[in-house]
Structure 1
Amino acid sequence: MSVVIKQVKDSDSLKKFVKFGIDLYEGNECFVPPLIYDERATLNMSKNPSFEHCDASYFLAYRGEEIVGRIGVIINHKSNEKWKQKNARFGFVDFVDDAEVVDALFGAAESWARSRGMEKIHGPLGFTDMDHEGMLIEGFDRMGTMATIYNYPYYPQHMERMGYVKEQDWVEFLIQIPKEVPERIERISEVVKQRFGLVEKRFERKSEVYPYAREIFHLINKAYKDLFGYVELTEKQIDYYVEMYIPMLRLEFLSVVLRQHDNKMVGVGIGLPSMSEALRKAKGKFLPTGWIHLYKALKGIGKNSKVLDLLLVAIDPEYQGKGVNALLIKRFISSAIELGMEVAESNVELETNSKVQSLWDGFDVEQHKRRRCFIKEL
């Protein structure tokens, strides 16, 4: 039976688009599903402020009545303007191991992009760097995280077969949490605080974070602006992410470093107890019982309570390379030790970003996953 491509045009087909990305991995012990509600919101033009400067379309592949693949294609006009490119992005891509299906899906995405004047297509990428990005090419036997994509080993094989090549890689590290804060980190932290007049802001309640929330994202914009593919978040996007992420915070793993004399934020680090097992139990659904698993994970209850997910570190360029990262790491380690955690997941780091990888110097680390952004001329 031949493959038929259908464009997603209504809420029912969008729901099928999201659900296929979960159903394909049923029984896979490494896959961590997203929450269906959150993914639908990301893809919804009326909810995601990225559509102020992005166009997108989504396609489903069918064999008869059965869905066998999906792909999203995005044009981020702000990114193309910043980086002086004419690139489309593909993302939210999943498929069975069938060349006819894969060729039909990517053919639809490439045709859509080509008809809009694009010269290249690359991905997996989302609307922003806050979305999942990078196709897994190493570490298929490792549990995923809430912040990353999992895919089967046959995915990159099909990409190479279709003529896609490496544009950029991200690496991930598994870091053993030491029994105590290393003396080197303690010493550097004190020196840096004294030399630059820095203090760490502690929060007792989440309500205290909101006055700093927008500044956190402004700092992320400033720190990440020159990294591969990054596009600074707009004020509406910042509002969107503040509403999404601040309620999820564990304050023990929020480290904010301020310059004492003017209260300027110069560094931020955010982590969470691993949500992977909770999301697997929830199977993409917050209700009726998914919220219970997520709540327990946030509170550090469950078999994955020994794992810390390091979600982001951002340091003002003026202070990069001056030891501010030691303050952030000290907070992470101290809190992790107090809660009995044993390992930390770094999540994605550009393989070329030696500054962020230097954070793990002196620790017992394993580079256990690698993912790739593929690119192809249209």
Structure 2
Amino acid sequence: MSQVEIRPVQSKRDMETFIALPNGLHRNDPHYVAPLKLERRQALSPKSNPLFNHIEARFFLAYRGGKPVGRISAQADPRLGPIGQFGLIAAEDDAAVFHALFGAAESWLRAQGKREVQGPFNLNINEESGLLIEGFDTPPMLLMPHDMPYVAPRVEAEGYAKAMDLFAYLHDVSVPFPKAVERILARPRPEGVVVRHIDWKRYDEELRTIVDIFNDAWSENWGFLPLGEDELQHLAKSMKPLLDDKLAWIAEVDGKPAAFGVALPNLNEMIRDLGGDLLPFGWAKLVWRLKRRTYTTGRVALMGVRREHHRSYLGKLVPLFIFEKFREVGRERGVKKVEMSWVLESNMPMRHIGEALGGGAPYKTYRIYTKPLVA
């Protein structure tokens, strides 16, 4: 076979090739959902994504015989010190292609002074994270990765080892809560606890409250990176078309915001037949589906409890109160299943909730890998 050639992404045409490459690899995968090309262009553009105010990134394409056969990104974030990251890995099932791609990413990271590489992150831990290693038989939810089964062995063959697993739990809203959870929820709510949906008229202020709780709640978690003001504004703009104000909740304790949960309609369910294209009729289909609420699945994408409540009984109750609201509103909206994702392997309180609500073990597992970079 001809030699693998690595080329950096340098033009708009290169980026279009980079974005489209997974679609061909997954053409026979019945569970793959092509991301919207417009969204991918914005996510990978320094002009559109404020994440690039904090990181440097390079994108590489692998070619063989003039045909694109793989892609990878490399990211350097000063906040992570000596740790670099890779992401957006997708390639044909060929050891030579994976070896060439990782060689290019690692070489660039070494030049940035990095001594360790972790990933995949698309493009950091607050965006798509992890490589799917279990749960290939169902489609991915909104903003969750989907990979071919051969990718993990190819990554591991390049010397990468497990750093952390991320779990996803699937909850059927028509199935009653476990008896133990029902008994807890049947008790009188602790005095001073109020669970309310966000005030749409104060959207920016409410989202700022949610991000403040998120940054506090997650600050001690593995791999945490805070969301900055610029990222907050980007999040506010990008989430607004999807956000249902009845599916975003804030829990207050004695009048102070203490926890939150945000569930999103599963956009992947609504774009699955669009092939990533909004033209010529994709826009009309998507707007109609959003307006008519044609989705039957959703994802609890964000949830957090302030650290001051982490070790209290109240801190364990509040997520259940919020999830109870998700169930009630979800049933009204015709939602049948809700994914709780992702949950760090080391986050035992949230794992216990996921296992109780999801009927046991996670239904999908994603892996973050690590590898030392030898000078």
TM, length-normalised to structure 2: 0.90
Tell me whether 1:22 sits opposite 2:23 in the alignment.
yes
Candidates 116, 130, 134, aligned match of 2:130: 134
What is the match of residue 106 of structure 1?
102
Q: Distance in 2 between matches of 1:74 and 1:361?
A: 33
SS at match of 2:138: coil
Equivalent position amino acid for 1:289 in 2: F
- Residue 244 (structure 1) aligns with: 238
How far 1:164 sits from its partner (Å)? 0.8
Aligned to 2:6: 5
Partners in 2 of 1:61 and 1:241 — Cα distance?
32
Change (3 A) 1:56 1:158: same
- Measure, in 2, the Cα distance between the counterparts of 1:353 and 1:149: 20
The verdict on how the C-alpha distance between 1:107 and 1:182 changes in structure 2, with shifts beyond 3 A counting, is: closer
User: What is the aligned residue count?
Assistant: 367
Counterpart CA distance in 2 for 1:277 and 1:67 is 28
The Cα of 1:90 is off from its aligned counterpart by 0.4
Deviations 1:106-137 (A, max 9, x none): 10001111122111111001343331110011
1:277 aligns with 2:272: no
Structure 2 SS opposite 1:347: strand
User: CA 1:160–1:191 in 2, change beyond 3 Å: closer, same or farther?
Assistant: same
Q: Give 1:345's aligned residue.
A: 339
Q: CA deviation at 1:56?
A: 0.8
Change (3 A) 1:119 1:13: same
Report the Cα offset of residue 104 of structure 1: 0.7
What residue number does 1:226 align with? 220
The one-letter code sitting in structure 2 at the alignment partner of 1:369 is K
Three-state SS of the structure 2 residue aligned to 1:248 is coil
Matches within 5 A, 1:153-172: 153-172=149-168
- Out of 339-348 and 4-13, give the one that drifted further: 339-348
Closer, same or farther: CA 170–202 of 1 in aligned 2, 3 Å: closer
Q: Kindly state the Cα deviation for residue 151 of structure 1 after the two structures are TM-superposed.
A: 0.7
* Inter-partner Cα distance in structure 2 for 1:52 and 1:193: 44
Paired residues of 1:307 and 1:343 also in contact (CA < 8 A):
yes
1:260, distance to aligned residue in structure 2 (A): 4.5
State the AA in 2 paired with 1:171: F
DSSP 3-state at the match of 1:69? strand
How far does the alpha carbon of each residue in 1:179-210 deviate from its partner, in whole angstroms, 9 at most, with x for none?
Answer: 56778657645868533x12223357x44423
| Aligned equivalent of 2:362 | 367
Among residues 305, 308, 311, which one is paired with 1:318 in the alignment? 308
AA of the residue aligned to 2:69: V
Structure 1 position 301, deviation (Å): 4.8
Given the alignment, which residue of 253, 278, 281 partners 1:286? Answer: 278
Structure 1, gaps ≥5 residues long: 81-85
**Structure 1 residue aligned with 2:259:** 267
One-letter amino acid of the counterpart of residue 126, structure 1: N
1:75: which partner in 2? 76
> TM-score normalized by structure 1?
0.90
